[in-house]
A and B are shown apart, each in its own frame.
Chain A
């Protein structure tokens, strides 16, 4: 069981709930998501409570995270994007980052392992679809039919619109897919890889003395991969957030 690299993604209900035939149980995935949101909320409340002019260490971390995303939204979506979408993007970033980070910890208190919500494509897909529909709704609400200029790039001979417009439409609809799959695939593949290399260690060590010596190799690999996974956890949250900004910018300023 412990050597099965896929086992970490099993969803087990903790509190079975059944609403009109739909399985809406509170599962370990739900618990991990609540823990991610809770950790972010608790940390920011705790760090920003003094709101000191000369910040403490935790306040520097909180303000640094805020400034980082604030600058990113401003650079990609402009001042208007900050006004409208900054809370949305910051929430997405924090949620993904906290989910990824919590998933890096081994289990404790009878929980065999922490669950990583972002390793389930339904979680990333729903976030990508929220962004997708936000773009469509805000785009039409703000620009009206001018939003369709997104599919009609300027500076193209009119005949070519027959080809270019369908291509742009397909390209537009492919966004939520690549947006969701990128985050999910990175986290999923990373966790499987970690488990596979970690599984080599006891398997080799059970062979004998030479096996124990040789087991140092996959062990070192696991340690190195763990470091890499921490980087991926941050980087993918950042990439998801910046792509969100780029797509939202299209809603505010359609037409390339």
Chain B
């Protein structure tokens, strides 16, 4: 019966079956990230946001003659944006590497 299909359909069916058999998401297994590279990522995101924020603020100062307020506000905004960046990276990381639900919780070694 399958032989009666037009060849295009047969090809599509085959493609779908191959995709199903492969489980589809097999090829893109991200390589393990070392803690050091993750730390560098955090640092980079944080620092970059501060530098860009300060530069944007300084640029506003130069053009609007509002020195030093642009630089100050820009620095604060850059700081906040850096935190936002870090939270985003961390959230993406913990979504990609969910903690095993069977992991025992960390023992409370406080004295109380």
Give the interface of A toward B (CB within 8 A).
67-68, 70-72, 74-75, 163, 166-171, 173-175, 177-178, 181-182, 185-186, 234-235, 238-239, 242
Contacts and interface: CB of A to CB of B under 8 A. Distances in A.
A181 B52 CA distance: 13
B40 A170 contact: no
Interface of B: 25-28, 30-31, 33, 37, 40-41, 44-45, 47-49, 51-53, 56, 74, 77-78, 80-82, 84-85
Contact of B78 (A71, A174, A239): A174
B80 A177 contact: no
Contacts of B28: 68, 71-72, 74-75
B85 A174 contact: yes
Contacts of B30: 72, 238, 242
Contacts of A68: 27-28
Contact of B25 (A75, A171, A175, A239): A75
Contact of A174 (B26, B31, B37, B53): B53
Interface residues of A: mostly helix, strand, loop or mixed?
helix
A91 B73 CA distance: 39
A174 B49 contact: yes
Contacts of B56: 169-170, 173
Nearest to A236: B37
A171 B85 contact: yes
A185 to B, nearest CB: 7
Given A167-B81, A171-B81, A171-B85, A181 B31 contact: no
Contact of B51 (A167, A177, A185, A235): A177
A193 to B, nearest CB: 13
Contact of B27 (A67, A174, A234): A67
A27 B48 CA distance: 30
A107 B40 CA distance: 30
Contacts of A178: 44-45, 47-49, 85
A174 B81 contact: yes
Given A74-B28, A75-B28, A185-B44, 10 more contacts: A72-B28, A75-B25, A163-B80, A167-B81, A170-B53, A170-B78, A170-B80, A171-B81, A177-B51, A182-B44
| Most chain A CB inside 10 Å of its own CB: which residue of B27, B30, B80 | B27
B75 to A, nearest CB: 10
Contacts of A238: 30-31
A75 B85 CA distance: 21
Contacts of A75: 25, 28
10 contacts: A67-B27, A68-B27, A166-B77, A170-B78, A173-B52, A174-B52, A181-B44, A182-B40, A182-B41, A235-B33
A243 to B, nearest CB: 10
Given A170-B77, A171-B81, A174-B51, A71 B31 contact: no
Given A185-B44, A186-B40, A235-B37, A171 B27 contact: no
A171 B44 CA distance: 12
Nearest to A256: B88
